[in-house]
Structure 1
Amino acid sequence: MDEVTVGWARRVAEAELGHELPRRWAHSRGVAAKATEVGRILGRDADLLTAAAVLHDVGYAPRLATTGFHPLDGARFLRDAHGADERLVRLVANHSFALLEAEERGLREELAAEFPLLEEPLMVDALVYCDMTTTPDGRRTTAQERVAEILSRYGAHSIVGRFIRRATPEISAAVARVEAALAAQPR
């Protein structure tokens, strides 16, 4: 990954989200900004995190929403329409514990078979951290406030509500691991 890929990712995300879903685009920009800061714990993979961060919600674009499950729709779009890097596609497909939501939707086996979870725990955690500490408007927040906001927006008994309640312990653990890695890293 490199800055060229990050620029490409920004252009793709803006083209898909910027006009039709400006709030989602604001969130994606905020997640990418946070990824740029957090990338220092990933060394040479910092640009991969930023590219995944800006693209993580691209599957919400109405023209891409074939299954209605944005991680899967976005990953398929990036793979099929753009031939995107496999690690990038797998990060988008599995961001923020998507396998748990896929299970709620009856899509777990499909997601896991098509886009296996990337076996790079710090990278996966870093994307969770960036997503789950950014508001829908792209501002900073805590993971606890973000989970509460998601529950409030979708309802506790919706598919997303059930998923986020199940994922909360994992989200909290991922955020704690990234915060520890950041604290241990010299500035």
Structure 2
Amino acid sequence: MGLPDDARRLAEQLVQPLGRRWVHVQAVARRASVVAPAVKESDQATLVAAAWLHDIGYAPAIGYTQFHPLDGARYLKAQGWPAEVVNLVAHHSGARFEAAERGMEEELAEFPFEDSALLDALVTADLTTGPAGESLTYDERIAEILRRYAPEDPVHRTWIKAGPVLKKAIERTECRLADAQPR
């Protein structure tokens, strides 16, 4: 058992009813396991747990603000999950950019932002996995998001701004993975 198993069970309970979103979450968790060597060994369980939980805020039962990173983090905090997992969920995949687009920066500030290898690895797992669980390059994933949301939508506007910043997070993860490979 352990943190990732507990996270998987909670994600299954809250996200499985959402259909395709559940397929995405499962694939992100698998991808997190693959990129886990990019973080300290002591952080790998946290990474995989956060990957399982990153989209629970889409669950109608906990989606009060309709901003899924915030809703997921608030739920996890109230349930007593470790702060590091909660903060990763709150800030996954450019949430700070979307919070700015939605005028929700103050609410998201409830959760400390840490620019870290752990957050970079979660971003990598999420943003190289498509909505139906397919493996995508980062550029393919961003193009897919921009096609899915109209230009006036806050999500579309977010990715125009966040795209270049998050691409650097993925590049850092790829460098860390290369460095972690045995020589």
TM-based fold match above 0.5: yes
Supply the distance in 1 between the matched residues of 2:179 and 2:74 (Cα, whole angstroms): 36
Supply the distance in 2 between the matched residues of 1:117 and 1:161 (Cα, whole angstroms): 22
Residues 73-95 of structure 1: per-residue CA shift (max 9 Å, x gap)? 00011111x21000000000000
Supply the distance in 2 between the matched residues of 1:40 and 1:175 (Cα, whole angstroms): 14
RCO higher in structure (CA 8 A, sep ≥6): 2
Which residues of 2 match residues 130-169 of structure 1 at below 5 A?
130-169=125-164
Supply the distance in 2 between the matched residues of 1:185 and 1:152 (Cα, whole angstroms): 35
CA RMSD between the two structures: 1.0
Which residues of 2 match residues 87-102 of structure 1 at below 5 A?
87-102=84-99
Supply the distance in 2 between the matched residues of 1:31 and 1:4 (Cα, whole angstroms): 18
Is contact 1:143-1:171 (8 Å) kept? no
Supply the distance in 2 between the matched residues of 1:6 and 1:61 (Cα, whole angstroms): 19
**Count of residue pairs the alignment pairs up:** 181
2:179 is aligned with what amino acid? A
Q: Deviation of residue 138 (structure 1)? A: 1.1
User: Of 112, 117, 125, which aligns to 2:113?
Assistant: 117
Q: Deviation of residue 40 (structure 1)? A: 1.4
Q: Deviation of residue 16 (structure 1)? A: 0.3
1:73 is aligned with what amino acid? D
Q: Deviation of residue 97 (structure 1)? A: 1.4
Q: Deviation of residue 167 (structure 1)? A: 0.3
Supply the distance in 2 between the matched residues of 1:7 and 1:157 (Cα, whole angstroms): 39
Unaligned 5+ segments in structure 1 are none
Is contact 1:100-1:163 (8 Å) kept? yes
Is contact 1:29-1:138 (8 Å) kept? yes
Q: Write out the 4+ residue segments of structure 1 that deviate beyond 3 Å after TM superposition.
A: none
**Could you state the TM-score of these two structures normalised by the residue count of structure 2?**
0.96
Aligned partner of 2:169 in structure 1 is 174
Aligned partner of 2:4 in structure 1 is 6
Supply the distance in 2 between the matched residues of 1:166 and 1:186 (Cα, whole angstroms): 32
Give the match's secondary structure for 1:97.
helix
